[in-house]
Amino acid sequence: MPPDSKVQKQLLEESRKKHDLIQQNFHDSYRNLTWKVEFKHLALMWLRFIDEYCPNVQYIMKLDDDVVGNILEIIHFLNEHVKAVSLLKSQKQIFCRVIYHRPVSREKKNKWYVRRDELSSEYYSNYCVGMAIIFTGDLPNMLLRAAKKERYFWIDDYFITGILAKKVEAQLVDLKRKIVIYTWEGNEEALVNGDIFFRLFSNMSHGLQLWRQIENSYFIRFLNSSL
């Protein structure tokens, strides 16, 4: 819960209008080691919500709030993916931009410094860039069950898509350049026409304008295909 009551009122108002918030009460920090049966830590809160309230969804998309995605093109891609590999083989998959063989930082001044007692390996297992990740719908429950038996690690992206994903034998599907991780990279037109799926934005007002272009582009293509 936020320490400022005004912020909490704003959150309640947002929830009343949009119904788009999930809130739990814990101290939020990168090294929050709160670990109870009810999974109050932010890293697992959304997984628990999906497992309880959306158990039959086919996919779950997790985006940071400074990311714009061409959702319509992504849905088309996922449908084609299932056709190509069969429904059975398209389970237990995580679609993302994969980080390979990244060294673990031992520099104490580094934001991502990790002690050896936290992680003994000198390299991370493969895991996902956290800004945009798509999970198949069978994974939330598997990941939560695996988390009960796994020691918590404070870098959320790695804990979920590295440690837990490996534990449940999930496949990381690398979308590579379909996900643009720097604001200065990637042509905006490429996002609109679907050549890239996700792009980071420093100015979300501009991101909203681009989303409207995506909607318009899709609508025009739909009309043309109907003629």
CA 79-211-156 angle, to 5 degrees, is 70
Domain residues for 83? 5-226
Q: How far apart are CA 84 and CA 9, in angstroms?
A: 48
Mean pLDDT of 204-219: 87
Does 33 have pLDDT greater than 70? no
> Quick check: 152 and 174 in contact, CB under 8 A?
no
CA 41-44-46 angle, to 5 degrees, is 110
Q: How far apart are CA 225 and CA 204, in angstroms?
A: 31
Bridge partner residues of 215 (DSSP): none
Mean pLDDT of 95-105: 97
The total number of structural domains in the chain stands at: 1
Mean pLDDT of 13-18: 88
Q: Residue 159: CB partners within 8 Å, gap ≥ 6?
A: 43, 152, 153
pTM of the model: 0.83
Does 223 have pLDDT greater than 80? no
Mean pLDDT of 39-55: 80
Q: Which residue has the higher pLDDT, 40 or 26?
A: 26
